[in-house]
Amino acid sequence: MGAGVLPETAAVYWRPRVDAARLRRRGWTWTGTTVAHTVPFLGTATLLMALEPLSFPVAAIAVVHAWGIPALYAARGAGVVRERPRADAGPERTALGLLGDLVGHEARELHARTGLILERGALGVWLVGEAGALLVRPGGRRVDCWCVKADAAELPSADRIAHLLLALREDEAGFATVANLAFSGAPWRLRRRLPAVRRAALDAARAESGPGRQARVRRSRP
Amino acid sequence: MARLIRMDQTGHTTVAEWRADDPGAVEAAVAAFREELDAGYYAVVSTGEGHAEQVRELPPDAELVILRRPIAGG
């Protein structure tokens, strides 16, 4: 990725710049928050059943809440890479040509199948979409969903991706600083909420970032 | 032939083309470059696989300079 600082970080000057350690802490915080939301409902259900088995319906509702809250978080994360409305065929084709010039054959092929561009970075393996990106961390056991988009809604889909891809390549940490974190958690949790066509991209990114493949995750330039 | 292109609703538009050994074309490209930056675009040059760099002056020896809009958290 580039050695410069993304100029857009000036608009979010109050945010500390993201790095691997900060990202890890945010992941733990996210998991802790999810647990804090879930455990009280499970505890309530257990207590109700222990005190009065006839309260089963209420206990069941509590369990549904405990299951539903993480699922809603994951759905929000999946939303960052949902498909957006397309522009006319001509501009889309032109934009796709430029995007194709920016990436290699593998990434082009994955984009054709899934609509996402795979990009290796220092923080992990990225999947860049039209209005957001997924970051599969080294090891492939956690994925972060980032909501971020180009400041121009009229752009063709491939151009919106190219905007994010170029910004990511300029300054990966700055990109993650500017973007809003929508979800951080286990890939399986996110995968269930992704449209079927996007799941292959997540699988590919996990394969790239899994054990034994971490050497391929690119180091930042000094 | 080097190109300055702007990503826009048409896919992209070629704003300027030049050759490093043609001072007139370079000058016109620099003027067009300035105008786009003043309009709020950022200029980016690829610097190898997976790397890009923002430029504030037109690099005459670059093959391709891409103009992009700012990004923001959604």
Name the residue facing A169 among B12, B42, B51 (closest C-beta).
B51
The verdict on a CB contact (< 8 Å) between A98 and B69 is no
For chain A positions 100-129, those within 8 Å of chain B (CB to CB) are 102, 104, 119-121
Residue B45 domain-assigned? yes
The confidence score (pLDDT) of residue A84 equals: 83
Answer yes or no: is B18 within a domain: yes
Three-state DSSP class for residue A181: strand
Of A25, A218, A91, A117, the closest CA to residue B6 belongs to A91
How many independent structural domains does chain B possess? 1
**Which pLDDT value is given to residue A220?**
44
- Looking at residue A216, what is its pLDDT? 54
Would you call B71 and A90 a contact, using CB atoms and an 8 Å cutoff? Answer: no
pLDDT value of residue A83: 85
Beta bridge partners, A119, equal A126
Non-local (6+) Cβ contacts of A10 within 8 A are none
Count Cβ atoms below 10 Å from residue A29 Cβ, excluding itself. 11
Alpha-carbon gap, residue A190 to A210, rounded angstroms: 17
pLDDT at A151: 85
What token pair was written down for A1? 């990725």
ipTM score of complex: 0.95
Q: What's the pLDDT at A213? A: 60
Asked if A139 and A130 touch (Cβ cutoff 8 Å), the reply is: no
Domain parsing of chain A, residue ranges: 16-222
Does a structural domain hold residue B74?
no
pLDDT in 10s for each residue of chain A, 222 residues:
556 899 999 999 999 999 999 999 999 999 999 999 999 999 999 999 999 999 999 999 999 999 999 999 999 999 999 888 777 888 999 999 999 999 999 999 999 999 999 999 999 999 999 999 999 999 999 999 999 999 888 899 999 999 999 999 999 999 999 999 999 999 999 999 999 999 999 999 999 997 656 545 554 443
CB proximity A138 to B under 8 Å: no
From A177's Cα to the closest Cα of chain B, the distance in A is 9
Give me the pLDDT at residue A219, please: 47
For residue B37, what are the domain limits? 2-68
What confidence tens digit (pLDDT) does each residue in B11-27 have? Answer: 999 999 999 999 999 99
**A151: number of Cβ within 10 Å:** 13
Residue A149 in contact with residue A164, Cβ under 8 Å?
A: yes
Instruction: Specify the 3-state DSSP secondary structure of A58.
Output: helix
Report the alpha-carbon distance of residue A111 to residue A146 in Å, rounded. 18
Inter-chain contact A148–B7, Cβ cutoff 8 Å? Answer: no
> How confident is the model at residue A172, as a pLDDT?
97
